[in-house]
Amino acid sequence: MHNVEGAEGRSPRTRCPIRSLAPLLLVMLATPAAAQSPPATDRGGVTVAAGVRAALDSFIVDFNNLDSARFTARWAEGASAVLPFPDTPHRLDGRDAVLARFMSYFAQMRRERSGPPFLFMVLHHVRIDTLGDDAALVAYEFSAAERVHRRSLVMVRDDAGAWKVLQMHGSSGMP
C-alpha cells in the first residue's frame, strides 16, 4: 500500500494497488482462455499430437516385429540417426545409411530370436512437442537388458500427410 495525495487539498488517502489493478487482472486472466486457438489438426481431423502418437505407435510395432518393409516406409528422405551401437560411433547421414544399419540389426535379431514379435519395446515417459502442423519432437524411454534406453525423434509430415522419422538420437544407460 502506498499514499497518494488527495485532490483539492484533501488529506492523503491510502489506496490499495491490487484494487486499482483488479480490472486489468480480470482481463488478463480471461484473455488467454478466449484467445487460445484450438489444437492444430491433421487432415483426418485428429490433433497433430494424436497423429504423431499414432505414427510413433505404428513405428514401434513395426520395429518390434522387425517388419523391414513397413519400418523402411516410416523414414523420411534425408533422414539421419545417432545410434547407441558400439559399431556405429558416428551419426549416420542419409536414409539409405540409416536403414542399412537397421537392416543389419534386424538380420541379427532374426537369427537370435523367434517371432514376431522379436523385440518387446514398451514405451514409457512419451513426450510429444508439436512444432507447427508438420513437425514434432518426440522423446521416450524403454527398458531392455537391464538398461534404460532413451530416444528422441524428429518427425515430419510428408506431402501425403504421413508422419515420418527424419532424425533419431538414441542413448542407453543404467536405470
- Provide the CATH number for the domain around residue 77: 3.10.450.50
Residue 109: partners with Cβ closer than 8 Å, 6 or more residues away = 66, 118, 119
Based on the domain organization, do 76 and 128 belong to the same domain?
yes
Quote the CA–CA distance of 84 and 71 in Å, as a whole number.
19
Confidence at residue 69, expressed as pLDDT on a 0 to 100 scale: 98
Rounded to the nearest integer, the mean pLDDT of the chain is 83
pLDDT, tens only, 127-161? 999 999 999 999 999 988 778 999 999 999 999 99
- Determine, yes or no, domain membership for 139: yes
Based on the domain organization, do 13 and 88 belong to the same domain?
no
pLDDT of 81 over the 70 cut: yes
Based on the domain organization, do 24 and 102 belong to the same domain?
no
- Determine, yes or no, domain membership for 103: yes
Which of the two residues, 78 and 15, has the higher pLDDT score?
A: 78
Confidence at residue 39, expressed as pLDDT on a 0 to 100 scale: 59
CB atoms within 10 A of CB 54: 14
Based on the domain organization, do 22 and 107 belong to the same domain?
no
Confidence at residue 171, expressed as pLDDT on a 0 to 100 scale: 94
Confidence at residue 21, expressed as pLDDT on a 0 to 100 scale: 44
Confidence at residue 173, expressed as pLDDT on a 0 to 100 scale: 83
* Domain assignment of residue 29, given as a range: 2-35
Based on the domain organization, do 31 and 70 belong to the same domain?
no
pLDDT of 13 over the 80 cut: no
Torsion angles phi and psi, residue 13, rounded to 5 = -120, 160
Based on the domain organization, do 65 and 30 belong to the same domain?
no
Based on the domain organization, do 20 and 95 belong to the same domain?
no
**Averaged pLDDT, 50-68:** 98
- Determine, yes or no, domain membership for 82: yes
Confidence at residue 94, expressed as pLDDT on a 0 to 100 scale: 98
Based on the domain organization, do 12 and 89 belong to the same domain?
no
Based on the domain organization, do 69 and 138 belong to the same domain?
yes
Based on the domain organization, do 131 and 65 belong to the same domain?
yes
Q: What percent of the chain has pLDDT over 70?
A: 74
Torsion angles phi and psi, residue 136, rounded to 5 = -155, 150
Confidence at residue 32, expressed as pLDDT on a 0 to 100 scale: 45
- Determine, yes or no, domain membership for 76: yes
**Averaged pLDDT, 94-103:** 98
- Determine, yes or no, domain membership for 142: yes
Which residues is 112 bridged to in the sheet? none
Confidence at residue 153, expressed as pLDDT on a 0 to 100 scale: 99
pLDDT of 30 over the 90 cut: no
Quote the CA–CA distance of 58 and 135 in Å, as a whole number.
17
* Structural domains of the chain, count: 2
